[in-house]
Amino acid sequence: MTNDNAELTNLQQQQRTRRQIEEGIAGAFAPEDEGLRNALTSARAAGLPEIQISPIQGKLLQVLAAACNARSILEIGALGGYSGIWLARALPAGGRLITLEISPEHAAVVRNSFEKAGVSDRTEVRVGRALDLLPHLGSDAPFDLVFIDADKPPYPQYLEWALRLTRPGSIIVADNCIRSGKAFLPPQDDVMAGVVEFNRRIASDPRLASLLLAMDEDYTDGFAIAVVKY
Ligand code: DHB
Ligand code: MG
């Protein structure tokens, strides 16, 4: 009993430490402004699921955008526009973010939040199934950065399109590629089948230098990051 309590206290202490580190990094490197906070409250008010990336993940996207000198970014899956704001703000003057969103209702929220965040001039929200929209992006390619954060079963196809629409030196990022470690077990449903196959491809494609990074607040999910080498 005493032992159990001691272990629980240890675990709680670890979680508290992790949260303090997370808040320290976010506070110093990834503070949210009114535009980002509005995107969150608007998405919540519209009933969207609260599954957007963290501020630290948003800042990582900006760092990666800087690393590949991104002027042209493609996002697959806009949700409420929170990640789109981080991405759009990484663009230089004249840069462009195209974000694909299947839900017209969500897209309206996204456009509104982009407007309030002051990034409407450099963003375009296209509405439809990503697999229907992606074949029409040829004239907008190559993209310097592609961020995949949509429905999981087609993740392998999204990777294929990302490879088609990028250039050597481009960076491909995908959210939710760890899933509490389920990504390393035989898949039990089509969601995990998509993620597992995506990871297999992104890890083994000779054109890519890639890695999974566990980076959500409890270390159970995170980004796959890949640089296109050739
Ligand atoms: C889910 C999807 C996401 O993109 C995410 O970041 C978290 C959860 C989901 O579909 O459950
Ligand atoms: Mg996600």
Alpha-carbon distance 98 to 118, whole Å? Answer: 15
Take residue 74 and report the two structure tokens written for it: 């493609």
Alpha-carbon distance 223 to 53, whole Å? Answer: 10
Summary count for the chain: helices (H), strands (E)? 8, 7
Element (H, E) at 10: helix 2-29
The predicted structure's pLDDT at residue 4: 60
Closest-CA residue, ligand 1 atom 5, reads 51
Ligand nearest to the CA of 175: 2
Q: Ligand 1 centroid to 225 CA: how many Å? A: 17
The predicted structure's pLDDT at residue 217: 72
Q: Under a CB-based contact definition with an 8 Å cutoff, are residues 56 and 26 in contact?
A: yes
Alpha-carbon distance 88 to 26, whole Å? Answer: 19
Alpha-carbon distance 203 to 182, whole Å? Answer: 16
CB atoms within 10 A of CB 199: 21
Question: Ligand 1, from 51, 56, 76: best to mutate by most atoms within 8 Å of Cβ?
Answer: 51
| pTM score of the predicted model | 0.95
| pLDDT 10s digits, 144-197 | 999 999 999 999 999 999 999 999 999 999 999 999 999 999 999 999 999 999
Q: Under a CB-based contact definition with an 8 Å cutoff, are residues 130 and 150 in contact?
A: yes
Which residues, including other chains, have CB under 8 Å from residue 156's CB and lie 6 or more apart? 194, 197, 198, 201
Q: Which residue has the tokens 């890519």?
A: 208
Q: Ligand 1 centroid to 49 CA: how many Å? A: 9
Ligand nearest to the CA of 182: 1
Q: Ligand 1 centroid to 230 CA: how many Å? A: 30
Alpha-carbon distance 117 to 122, whole Å? Answer: 11
Q: Ligand 1 centroid to 123 CA: how many Å? A: 23
The parts of the chain modelled with pLDDT lower than 70 are 1-5
DSSP assignment of 83-118 equals HHHHHHHTSPTT-EEEEEES-HHHHHHHHHHHHHHT
Which residues, including other chains, have CB under 8 Å from residue 205's CB and lie 6 or more apart? 163, 226
Q: Ligand 1 centroid to 95 CA: how many Å? A: 28
Which residues have CB under 6 Å of ligand 1?
51, 149, 175-176
Closest-CA residue, ligand 1 atom 6, reads 51
| pLDDT 10s digits, 129-155 | 999 999 999 999 999 999 999 999 999
